[in-house]
Structure 1
Amino acid sequence: MISDVSSAGGWTDKSAVNYGLRSTLDTRFELGTGISLSGITGLELQQQQAQILGYPMVADSSNLAGYRIPGVLRSNQVTTTGSLLLFTEWTLALPASFSITAGIGHSRMDIALKNRLYAPATAIPTRYSAGYHNMYAPHLAVNKVFSEKVSLYASFSQGYKAPVSSYFFIPVTGEVISGLKPKKANQLEIGSKGSLLKKRLQYEVAAFYTVYQDKMTTIAVPNSANTATSYVYVANAGEQKNLGLEISLKGTAYESAGFIRAIHPFTNLTLSHFRYGKFQYEQLSSDKTSTVVMDFTDKTVVGVPPVVFNTGFDLTTQSGFYWNLTYNYRDPMYFTSDNKKQTASYQLLNTKIGYSRHLLKHLALDAYLGCNNLTGQQNYVMVFLNQLPDAYLPAPREANFFGGLNLKYIF
């Protein structure tokens, strides 16, 4: 994999090689009338070796009013990341369409980093390494099916996210942060899914509560006398609590053997109440001689709109013509953790009309015309966090028309 990524902060070239292995064993035991035990057990290995080159973005001397360009190389790192996952999960099927599922995963991750820009005059090492082991993640769920049409379930799961390669050491001092721990999450979820009204309405609903512990934060180390380099490093100190509700509906409003074959409306709604718990981080003052503490306790989590709503319909005809119409609404969203800056809400109306048909036994045609943002509402195309001034990039207000023609040969 080769990637070139630019942003307001710099330019990064990355060349990576990934390889791995996954193996599973499926088993099933009949324990009696209406009782069975089935399971899956396996392992997964993955390793990545990558070279990452970093450049600052500087003004182009030949075009000072134009876009910035990559400057002099400022970092050259080679990373090796390896992970191992062992897992097993078993489902006990009982009479009356009741089942219990339990499983556990054991994972570990090892990181090694080599600095190819070695400075001989310093005592900073060229190689860093860390390992995060014994991450056990249990899972438990119960499920009940009613009349083979509706099911209810409840589940508990636990997971981990180990630090990335840029977090586990301090470049200024060369010190590996030995006490850094993986971020941990516990989630409780309840929900239901099924088919109603003689299979004319399919629904899914799920409510979840997730608590994150040992979130990554930063600690500032200033030098008021300005006799050494000030720096920040990553530590565990923070919580986050996510409460959410997801609802999805899809149905058949009309169906016949006439010109209009079917009309399928659909709707989905996501409600999110995501809040930081006790969460602070430190940064250096503008002159790097003192510490500034930012307290985000009880603030709204960035990057998550409280309400996201989508609805629309698909219309198909016997002759091959089809029509799709969707309406999307997204609430305002904070993009700074102090909740002082946020995007605007927006609504999008999109449509697509086309013709799809088999022309011959092995040849299929799909021709279409469409328009995104029919009503010309301003929305955003990307949001950068902590990377001003490009933190909020709105999309054009104008409608965007498109079309296409696909020919598919079926062997």
Structure 2
Amino acid sequence: MRHRYFSVAIFCGLSVPAILFAQAPTSSSLDDTLQLNEVVVRGYATNRRLLETPASIGLLTRRDLNQRFGTPTLIPAMNTLPGVRADERSPGSYRLAIRGSAIRSPFGVRNVKTYWNELPLTDAGGNTPLNALDVRALGRIEVIKGPSGSLYGAGTGGTILFSGLAVPAGKTNVELSALGGSYGLYGNGIAVQTGKNNSAIALNYNHLQSDGYRDQSAMVRDNLSLIGSFSVSPKRTISVLGLYSDLYYQTPGGLNQAQYAANPRASRPATPTLPSSAAQHASIYQKIGYLGLSHEYRWNDRIQNTTVIYGSNTDFANPFITNFEKRTDQGMGGRTITQFRLPNGPLPTTFTIGGELLRTFTVDRNFGNRGGIADTIQTDEELTARQTTIFAQAETELPAHFRLTAGLSRNDVRYDFTRFPVRSAGALPATTLTRNFTPVWLPRVALLRTFGQNLAAFVSISTGYSAPSSQEVRPSAGGFNATLNAELGTNYEAGLRGSTFNSRLRFDIAVYQFYLRQTIVRRSDATGAEFFVNAGRTDQRGLEAQLSYDFIQPSSTSLFSLLRIWHSMTLTNYRFRDYQQGTTDLSNNRVPGVAPTTLVTGLDAETKLGIYAHATFQFLDQFPLVDANTVMSDPTRLLQATVGFRRMLGQHWTLDVYASGDNLLNQTYSLGYDLNAIGNRFYNAAPARNGIGGVRVSLRW
């Protein structure tokens, strides 16, 4: 397998994300990309050029999030990054995997830490409400792939850093948008941004709704966000982030192969013992409010501190086929990070120290479900989750263009669970169970060497730790799993990135070997309710590469401002080790849900007249759907394209009109499989060929 990885790497070349390298912005392009030796990333608190960052980091800019694809979701843009796989099993139902971590996520986002400008978005229970964000309010995403616990705490998959839209300095910008498409898709939005001498404020409201391709798959979402930054003195900056999301989406449920072949648009039908998804009005009601404050203080050009605090509240209801769950989550926490720079010594060094404290209190009750109406109470439970992380990192510049990064963190996770009696006759008194996971120290060491301005190589060793999430220790049917153990792993990685031919050809490659112990996997019972178990060890080998080539360079005489082809490739070989399921030995089987080969190719074109076009093709090879590897997925071939016209009209107005097509090859495929599903209900059909059209009008003064 190693020979396969390296031979393909040599053949395909080494690449850096195409999304990083646009030409100088014109009136028809989005001013959101820079050259390789200019772009700065925030990963691991280095604030250095991507070329000088010793980690695998993918970057999505405003062009990738809001222009390349017409569909206003995060899914297609995230899938252009090697090592990242995003699913939307039905509109609004997101699932995200970084380097295969979706094996433990039947729905939602787990095993991934997320932040918005240092504000934690992932709660103390390890869950991230990614579907509460609207892509139209985002300006940039950094994805750190692999264990990053030395600075960001628990998690073995990776870390995502979000940023909002850039606010124009000294100007005000108002943008109105509307879109419509197949299967009842409709959306609109308004964005207001204003920048003054000492402040920047952005207010975004976005609405999206869809009837859905499948029966019982409608969705309605409203998002409101407020971002403000205020320089109250030359040394002090205070920022605020307010988010509110009101999301409703129906859950059609998985189909078996015969049902999927007969009618992929159907929702899960009734059985002799269980009603259908439609009869039970299976759906999700989710309202999330989030308020965060950030304080940045710069003592001088060598010492600065950023401290953040936040509070959140989630109201969640899930009429399911067998029960009706109602849950309220109240979260709070904070993070502080201080940097000390010593630039003038024989070995210039930057020290980073800090800590993070998260707490989430959950009240969770299960009822019977009588046609979408909560019936008799079944369980009444409370769960308190706590996460504490302290960390330190040193980054030292060594002779001969070497840079050494060493980090260490201590992670502590605790759950307190209480079940209250729901019947008076013969009821047991309320009892509290506590699960303390043994605190762990997570080191990371990385060494980088630059070769001139256009080439760098790095190696790293990092450790990962991921305690079970609150949705795993307390599954949907209720109860508390006190025997589930935390995942622990060690990752060995090497990478090479750079550019040549006057920066027209860019490349990025990473190879890794991740040894994971106590791997958490999903199981489900006869009703479809999930639970989780540890599955011994897994060995996870992978190769991630990107290549991009610009056919033209900036020129006053050229018709094109951008003409680029790019390619993304992910190769994996994830296998179980020492995995016994009853009397069956599953050691050496492939880990389900992880495609051995993923290829994504794109063509981007923008003209100075304002016409732009983007085409994207992705291929996923078949992969196992069960631990026994007896059922395989179908290969996926997906073609998407967008054409549009974007141009300034006069001094103040900008018009952007576009049309987009999805699944242009009209393939029947599942965008998100239910792994290890009882009754072989693996399949969640994605929409057939469909189209979207939209318009954006902005005024700047």
Matched residue type, 1:40: T
Give the aligned partner of residue 408 of structure 2.
104
Where do 5+ consecutive residues of structure 2 fail to align?
Answer: 1-313, 524-529
Q: For 1:9 and 1:250, how far apart are their aligned partners in 2?
A: 50
Q: After TM superposition, give the deviation of residue 39 of structure 1 in Å.
A: 1.6
Q: For 2:605 and 2:481, how far apart are their aligned partners in 1?
A: 59
Q: For 1:42 and 1:252, how far apart are their aligned partners in 2?
A: 41
Q: Structure 1 263/9 Cα, relative in aligned 2: closer, same or farther at 3 Å?
A: farther
Where do 5+ consecutive residues of structure 1 fail to align?
Answer: 61-67, 220-231, 283-292
Q: After TM superposition, give the deviation of residue 94 of structure 1 in Å.
A: 1.4
Give the aligned partner of residue 18 of structure 1.
331
The partner residue of 1:46 within 358, 363, 383 is: 358
Q: After TM superposition, give the deviation of residue 136 of structure 1 in Å.
A: 0.7
Give the aligned partner of residue 459 of structure 2.
154
CA contact (8 A) 1:190 1:208 kept: yes
Give the aligned partner of residue 225 of structure 1.
none
The partner residue of 2:669 within 372, 379, 404 is: 379
Matched residue type, 1:364: T
Q: For 2:490 and 2:542, how far apart are their aligned partners in 1?
A: 14
Q: After TM superposition, give the deviation of residue 55 of structure 1 in Å.
A: 4.3
Matched, 1:36 2:348: yes
Q: Structure 1 395/314 Cα, relative in aligned 2: closer, same or farther at 3 Å?
A: same
3-state SS of the aligned residue for 2:609?
coil
Matched residue type, 1:14: R
Q: Structure 1 365/107 Cα, relative in aligned 2: closer, same or farther at 3 Å?
A: same
RMSD: 2.9
Indicate the structure with greater strand content: 1
Q: For 1:347 and 1:56, how far apart are their aligned partners in 2?
A: 41
Q: Structure 1 395/235 Cα, relative in aligned 2: closer, same or farther at 3 Å?
A: closer
Give the aligned partner of residue 74 of structure 1.
378
Matched, 1:199 2:199: no
The superposition leaves residues 364-396 of structure 1 with CA deviations (integer Å, 9 ceiling, x where unpaired) of 221100101111111113322233343212224
Give the aligned partner of residue 5 of structure 2.
none
The superposition leaves residues 167-208 of structure 1 with CA deviations (integer Å, 9 ceiling, x where unpaired) of 6699x9x9984x754210110000111111111112110001
CA contact (8 A) 1:118 1:126 kept: no
Q: Structure 1 346/164 Cα, relative in aligned 2: closer, same or farther at 3 Å?
A: closer
Matched, 1:368 2:658: yes
Q: For 1:374 and 1:175, how far apart are their aligned partners in 2?
A: 46
CA contact (8 A) 2:413 2:439 kept: no
Matched, 1:268 2:580: no
Give the aligned partner of residue 309 of structure 1.
599
Matched residue type, 2:492: L
The superposition leaves residues 101-129 of structure 1 with CA deviations (integer Å, 9 ceiling, x where unpaired) of 10101010111112134556355753211
Matched residue type, 1:270: T
The superposition leaves residues 301-358 of structure 1 with CA deviations (integer Å, 9 ceiling, x where unpaired) of 0110111100011100011110001111011122211112221001111110001112
Q: After TM superposition, give the deviation of residue 74 of structure 1 in Å.
A: 2.6
Q: For 2:397 and 2:378, how far apart are their aligned partners in 1?
A: 58
The partner residue of 1:2 within 300, 315, 323 is: 315
CA contact (8 A) 2:377 2:422 kept: no
Q: After TM superposition, give the deviation of residue 235 of structure 1 in Å.
A: 6.6
Q: For 2:321 and 2:515, how far apart are their aligned partners in 1?
A: 32
TM-score (norm 2): 0.50
Q: After TM superposition, give the deviation of residue 258 of structure 1 in Å.
A: 2.9
Matched residue type, 1:103: G
Matched, 1:332 2:589: no
Q: Structure 1 254/392 Cα, relative in aligned 2: closer, same or farther at 3 Å?
A: same
Give the aligned partner of residue 289 of structure 1.
none
Matched residue type, 1:107: N
Q: Structure 1 208/327 Cα, relative in aligned 2: closer, same or farther at 3 Å?
A: same
CA contact (8 A) 1:330 1:346 kept: yes
3-state SS of the aligned residue for 1:254?
coil
Q: For 2:429 and 2:633, how far apart are their aligned partners in 1?
A: 42
Segment drifting more, 205-214 vs 3-12: 3-12
Q: Structure 1 244/85 Cα, relative in aligned 2: closer, same or farther at 3 Å?
A: same
Q: For 2:466 and 2:603, how far apart are their aligned partners in 1?
A: 39
Matched, 1:211 2:515: yes
CA contact (8 A) 2:378 2:422 kept: no
3-state SS of the aligned residue for 1:338?
coil
The partner residue of 2:545 within 247, 250, 263 is: 247
3-state SS of the aligned residue for 2:672?
strand
Q: For 1:11 and 1:97, how far apart are their aligned partners in 2?
A: 60
Q: Structure 1 133/361 Cα, relative in aligned 2: closer, same or farther at 3 Å?
A: farther
3-state SS of the aligned residue for 1:46?
strand
Q: After TM superposition, give the deviation of residue 237 of structure 1 in Å.
A: 5.6
Give the aligned partner of residue 229 of structure 1.
none
TM-score (norm 1): 0.83
Give the aligned partner of residue 58 of structure 2.
none
Matched, 1:189 2:493: yes
Q: Structure 1 391/183 Cα, relative in aligned 2: closer, same or farther at 3 Å?
A: same
Q: For 1:210 and 1:52, how far apart are their aligned partners in 2?
A: 35
Give the aligned partner of residue 92 of structure 1.
396
Give the aligned partner of residue 403 of structure 1.
693
What is the number of residues matched between the two proteins? 377
3-state SS of the aligned residue for 1:339?
coil
Matched, 1:322 2:596: no
